[in-house]
Structure 1
Amino acid sequence: MSQQQDGYTRVESPTEIEALLEALIEPGGASLQVSTPGSKPLPVLVMEQQPGAILVLDISAIREIAGELKRGQEFRLLGQAQGKMLRTPSMAMKECHEEDGRLVCTCQFPYSLEVLQRRESFRARLRLGMEVGAILRGEEGGSTQGDLKDLSLEGCQLELPLFAGALLANTSQPLEVELCFPNDTRFAVRASPRHQEVDTDRQAILAGFCFDHTTGEQDRQLWFFVREIERESARYAEGSEASRLPSLLFQTRTATPPAVGRRNTQEYPTPMARRLACIAGYLDAQLLELQQGGEVDSVQLSRHADRLLLLHDEDRDGLLFATRCLQHEPRLVRHSLGVSVGLLDLAGLSSIPRKLSKAMAASAMVHDLGKALLPTELWQVTHPDEHQHLQMQSHVEKLMRRMGRCHWLSANILDSVAHNINERLDGSGYPRSLAADDLHELARAAAVVDVVDAMRRDRPDRPAWRIDAIYRHLLSHPEHFDQRWVKRYIKQFGLYPIGSLVRFDSGQLAWVQALDTQGRPSQVQLADSLEPPGPTLGEILQSTALQRLGSIQEELPISV
């Protein structure tokens, strides 16, 4: 045997080669990777080995590359056997033919193999949009739900809710990890916690686990899962889901995917809030993707912008209230959704074509995500100096550099909303100090929506503002904000916008959930405390029952 620089060891013993190749003949035992930089492993079935002569392969699942293989494109076979990762040297197809509806090919028999013992180096990371739930169970019956983030033959990484810390800390025995794939495949394995990273803003724990004493069958299943995750990831590599056949593991058998995941442990005050939380989950995952060097995912952004428009079509008032019910989500996500829904309601749908409304909602959804690319501590500063201000303002350009794959998104709308939302009429805004003549109507509207939503939420340097104070601020600064859009906003959302917490003459607290044609509250839900909307809100009141509460005495600013 001889050692290579990348850690692989060359095996040249004919007996050992035959034994290792025999493991690849099992279903799911092998992958094919063409010798092109950046190529991903693809599914292949090793049907037969004739030692010293040929290997017989079934490439029916990857017919799309059959042409280049027939033209001499070199490839390797990859697999796992006897606790080792293995690969063949570069090979080429000798001939291909149809046989009982299958595409069968032959290639030369390899006279050597390369094996790697370091199994942990084969770690498959789930890309944005690939959702695999996980259930973590303790010896004494406690359990929690989370999401799989990456998987190897040796262990996995899960994202769990903060309260899972007790389960992770109070165990002297391995825990059970059950992975739940979208097609209802379940896989349970014993695992021990190895490391934890707490993210208080995202209310999550990223925990690494090492699998304990896996069986040969579990190793085979894990290799299959790792390979299929890599295969599914390859479908998104160039921004196209249609380029390759989807993995069966990631195809749901029902219209509703299995309800396993970190957000399924959270309770929400309304069904609409739970549905909006699914879009919040996408934005949260996109934040991580950006922090790990990725770009804004074109397919997922399009899909979730469509979902947001459908929610607005279904229940406009319910959606506006739901934006105030996501206290479990990161502040960036809450603000991004608040601006997206507010701008959609103010400037979209009724006044512009639906395709452009979608682009507007999508641009607003991501407009602030560039802040995730700056140091976390920067956003905790209560009195930032000039240098820190400039650092903060750089988030816009950082985001714009990560939007390159979103070709479906109107460049003009993206520029107006995501790029220019922080500009001001007098040129005092950022990042380009554009003035009135350079600002599209949509940029002017977006600036108003953005400022209102931001000022209604707490920040390290100030608490949330009352809505009447926000309106006075906008009206008293015509040099910054287009007064036509300020007045349209006030008319559209009223003096007590949906999602406001108000106190009546009777002393009763209530959340505003709907307005009448005059902009006055027409439906409220009773509350007992100065807390964000929770799952235990009180009675819903309308018409006569609402009138018995008396007049509204004040709005109480609550950062949600």
Structure 2
Amino acid sequence: MTGAKDGYVRVTAPTEIEEMLARLSQPGGASLQLDAEESRPLPVLVVDQVPGDYLLLDISAIREVAAELRRGAAFRLLGQSRDQMLRTPPLLMDTCHEQEGRLLCQCPYPINLEVLQRRASFRARLRLGMEVGAIVRGGHSEAPLQSDLKDLSLEGCQLELPLSAASWLAAAETVEIELCFLNGVRFTIRAEPRHCLADTERQALRAGMRFVALSGDQERQLWHFVREIERESARQGESSDSSLLPSLLFQTDLAAAAPVSRRNISRYATPMAKRLARIAGYLDAQLLEIQEGGQWDAVQLSSFADRLLGLHAEDSEALLFATHCLYNEPLLVRHGLGVAVHMLDLATAGMLPRDARKALAACAMVHDLGKALLPTELLEASDWDDERQAALHVHVEVMREGLGACHWLAPGVVEAVVMRINERLDGSGYPARLSGETLGELTRLASVVDVVEAMRRDRPDRLAWKIGDIYRYLLSHPGQFDSRWVKRYLKHFGVMPIGTLVRFSGGELGWVQRLDGDGRLAQIQLTDRPAPPGESLGDVLRGERLKRLGDVVEVLRASF
């Protein structure tokens, strides 16, 4: 035996080759895979072998590829032997003919076989950006559930589903899972739910599934998927192998329907909120990657920063409101998006170059994700002594190291937004206790936006503040926050910023969605209760219909 690529070992002994090919001759023992296309394995029957001369194959079940094979398309035979996966080197078909209703083809006898030790329990984990949706049917749910595949093995998989799926999944004996790859490939298999882990912060449920009643063809396809996931992960990893071609399973089919995913079926208050949820999904995945010791993906961060700039250019006010609609996302994700969009809106008004705005948006989106590594009791603390504040510094260093791989980010923006956003003018901030003139304009702006966004949202240790109270707090602490930027923020976003919940003189409640050039209400959307803006929002009012509501008599504290 000699080494081969992808972990396979090459077998050249004629007797071993003959013995292994004999096992492939059993019904269901072999599959044919077009080599150039890296397509899914197709059923084929090895009818006969003449060692050193030829193999005779029955391809009656896959007549659709006969023309391609006749034109000289290379292919491999795949199969399994005991605890090994087998494949031939690329082969070419010599002849094909019809015989008693069967399509028989002859190809050269392989001079070697490539063998891979099969690891049934090995789980191929999907890295950031490797999206595979899963549709779950069965249990007590009449409608199918859409979810995300997190890892896959020959024995089972782990799915991430909406938290609401916990009750019916717990009562289900078996379910049907349909894996949906980006290139349009679908694969259906039955499974038993084995264990569930609820994540209330992310409103998600991690469910372990054990496959049942696998056929030989299903097992071969599963192994193909596991190998492709493992290979794509190796290609994208920290020590990436540039010799590996991208897996077609993860190449988006532009003609296909929207990707299947947990977020894709969730209902959102506005169309813009649904589009912003795709960026939230990336940040959520990056947050999990940090928790599991994974690496930052500079390409993904660049792509989603571009996407955020595109949404802002399309409709900035709709985007500002959308940042208040993602209440099912983790707090760190919601906060990062809120800071990014509000800083972007201020920066656009100041006419910063696009590259600078992109770097600003990217840094703001991720500036707090390192807190995912901090203990819960630290994040929920209300009394910040020196020891606790020192422990909090860890998340800043995590971000500094992680963003080091993102060479397209301007170092000055990383320093101002990520490293110094928690500094204060009087030196009471962290991590370096910088003060006064050592803090530049971008840091002064960032710290104001960061605090406003933090105080507008519920935290485990306190409820959200009303916007007027936040403004008064910032203006009353000029030693910590630059009053010029506090006033610029107030002037730009107004006393009732987009995303504020207000009560009118007639008792109606409404969310502020648009303002006119003078900061007055231009559009609101009615709601029947003081809850985060969700799918139950009412009519959108503007113009005369808005005027008939009367004056705003109260600005409410809203939890989101």
TM-score (norm 1): 0.82
> Which residue in the other structure is 1:490 paired with?
490
Q: Measure the CA separation in 2 of the matches of 1:107 and 1:287.
A: 48
Q: Compute the displacement of 1:375 (Å).
A: 2.1
3-state SS of paired residue (2:145) = strand
What is the match of residue 300 of structure 2?
300
Q: Deviations over 1:107-134 (max 9, x none)?
A: 9747x96744x4112x211111111111
Tell me the SS of whatever aligns to 1:209.
strand
1:81 is aligned to 80
- Structure 1 residue identity aligned to 2:166: G
Q: Residue 146 of structure 1 aligns with which residue?
A: 147
Alignment correspondent of 2:98? none
Does the Cα contact within 8 Å between 1:427 and 1:435 map onto a contact in 2?
yes
> 1:64 aligns to what?
none
The residue matched to 1:401 in structure 2 has which SS?
helix
Decide whether the 8 Å contact of 1:296 with 1:402 is kept in 2. Answer: yes
- Residues 538-558 of structure 1: CA deviation (Å, up to 9, x unaligned): 111112222222221121011
Which range is displaced more, 342-351 or 468-477?
342-351
For 1:380 and 1:426, locate their aligned partners in 2 and report how far apart those are by CA, in whole Å: 24
**Alignment of structure 1 residues 94-113 onto 2, 5 Å:** 109=112
How far 1:386 moved relative to its partner?
A: 4.3
Alpha-carbon distance, 1:294 to partner: 1.0
Question: Residue in 1 aligned with 2:277?
Answer: 277
**Other structure's SS at 2:319 match:** helix
CA distance, structure 2, for counterparts of residue 502 and residue 278 of structure 1: 29
Which deviates the most, 486-495 or 249-258? 249-258
Residue 71 of structure 1 corresponds to which residue in structure 2?
none
In 2, the alpha carbon distance for the partners of 1:114 and 1:232 equals 18
Q: Deviations over 1:299-344 (max 9, x none)?
A: 1111110010000000010000000001111111110000000110
Tell me if structure 2 keeps the 8 A contact 1:133–1:181: yes
CA contact (8 A) 2:273 2:319 kept: yes
Do the aligned partners of 1:50 and 1:109 also contact (CA within 8 Å) in 2?
A: no
Q: Distance in 2 between matches of 1:274 and 1:500?
A: 20
Residues 186 and 9 of structure 1: CA distance in aligned 2, closer, same or farther (over 3 Å): closer
Query: How far is the alpha carbon of 1:382 from its aligned partner?
Result: 4.7
- State the secondary structure of the residue aligned to 1:517: coil
- The yes-or-no answer on 1:168 pairing with 2:154 is no
Please list, as runs of the form range in 1=range in 2, the aligned pairs for 1:445-484 lying within 5 A after superposition: 445-484=445-484
> Counterpart of 1:195?
195
Q: How far did residue 447 of structure 1 move?
A: 0.4
Matches within 5 A, 1:116-515: 116=118, 118-121=119-122, 123-139=123-139, 142=142, 143-171=144-172, 173-238=173-238, 244-254=244-254, 257-348=257-348, 350-383=350-383, 386-515=386-515
Does the Cα contact within 8 Å between 1:338 and 1:453 map onto a contact in 2?
yes
C-alpha distance in 2 between matches for 1:401 and 1:147? 29
Count of residue pairs brought into register by the alignment: 509
1:388 Cα deviation after fit: 3.0
Distance 2:255 2:447 in 1: 38
Change (3 A) 1:323 1:141: closer
Deviates more, 1:253-262 or 1:141-150: 253-262
Cα deviation, residue 482, structure 1: 1.3
Distance 1:280 1:43 in 2: 32
| Whole-angstrom distance in 1 between the partners of 2:241 and 2:509 | 49
Tell me: CA distance 1:20–1:434, structure 2 relative to 1, closer, same or farther (3 Å).
farther
SS in 1 for 2:121: helix
Partner Cα distance (1:109, 1:53) in 2: 13
| Cα drift, residue 139 of structure 1 | 4.9
**Paired residues of 1:54 and 1:109 also in contact (CA < 8 A):** no
| Alpha carbons 1:422, 1:447 under 8 Å: kept | yes
Change (3 A) 1:9 1:260: closer
Which amino acid letter does the alignment assign opposite residue 204 of structure 1? A
Q: Deviations over 1:209-239 (max 9, x none)?
A: 1111200110111111112222322332259
**Considering only aligned residues, what root-mean-square deviation do their CA atoms show, in Å?**
3.7
Give unmatched runs, 5+ long, in structure 2: 1-7, 56-75, 95-108
How far apart are 1:252 and its partner, in Å? 2.4
Tell me: CA distance 1:522–1:85, structure 2 relative to 1, closer, same or farther (3 Å). Answer: same
CA distance in 1, matches of 2:460, 2:384: 10
CA distance in 1, matches of 2:78, 2:298: 32
Query: Is the contact between residue 52 and residue 109 of structure 1 (CA under 8 Å) also seen in structure 2?
Result: no
Q: What SS is found at the alignment partner of 1:205? A: strand
What code does the residue aligned with 1:466 have?
K
The answer as to whether partners of 2:137 and 2:175 remain within 8 angstroms in 1 is yes
What is aligned with 2:104? none
Q: Check conservation: 2:41, 2:221, Cα contact below 8 A.
A: no
Shift of 1:29: 9.6
Which stretch shows the higher mean deviation, 543-552 or 238-247? 238-247
Is 2:325–2:534's contact at 8 Å kept on the other side of the alignment? yes
Q: How far apart in 2 are the matches of 1:435 and 1:211?
A: 59
Q: In 1, Cα distance between the equivalents of 2:373 and 2:413?
A: 23
Which stretch of the first structure deviates more once superposed, 369-378 or 126-135?
Answer: 369-378
Give the whole-Å Cα distance in 1 for the aligned partners of 2:343 and 2:326. Answer: 18
* Amino acid in the other structure paired with 2:162: P
- Counterpart secondary structure, 1:192: strand
Identity of paired residues, percent?
55
Once the 2 structures are TM-superposed, how far is the Cα of residue 257 of structure 1 from its aligned partner? 4.7
Q: SS in structure 2 opposite 1:403?
A: helix
Cα 1:107–1:83, aligned 2, differ >3 Å: closer, same or farther? closer
Q: CA deviation at 1:393?
A: 3.2
Q: Verify the 8 A CA contact 1:382 1:460 in the aligned structure 2.
A: no
Counterpart in the other structure of 2:103? none
Equivalent residue letter for 1:198: A
Native 8 Å contact 1:317 1:513 kept in 2: yes
Hey, what's the Cα distance between the residues in 1 that align with 2:239 and 2:535? 38
Cα gap change, 1:464/1:9 in structure 2, threshold over 3 Å: closer, same or farther? same
CA distance in 1, matches of 2:420, 2:265: 37
DSSP-derived class of the 1:497 partner? coil
Deviations 1:8-63 (A, max 9, x none): 999997254444688998444999xxxxxxxxx99999x999968999xxxxxxxx
SS in 2 for 1:433: coil
Q: Distance in 2 between matches of 1:257 and 1:363?
A: 32
For the structure 1 residues 525 and 19, does the alpha-carbon distance in structure 2 shift closer, same or farther, using more than 3 Å as the test?
same
> SS of 1:445's equivalent?
helix
Amino acid at match of 1:221: Q
Checking the alignment, whether the CA contact within 8 Å between 1:30 and 1:79 is kept in structure 2 is no
Would the aligned equivalents of 1:29 and 1:224 in 2 still touch at CA under 8 Å? no
- 3-state SS of the aligned residue for 2:405? coil
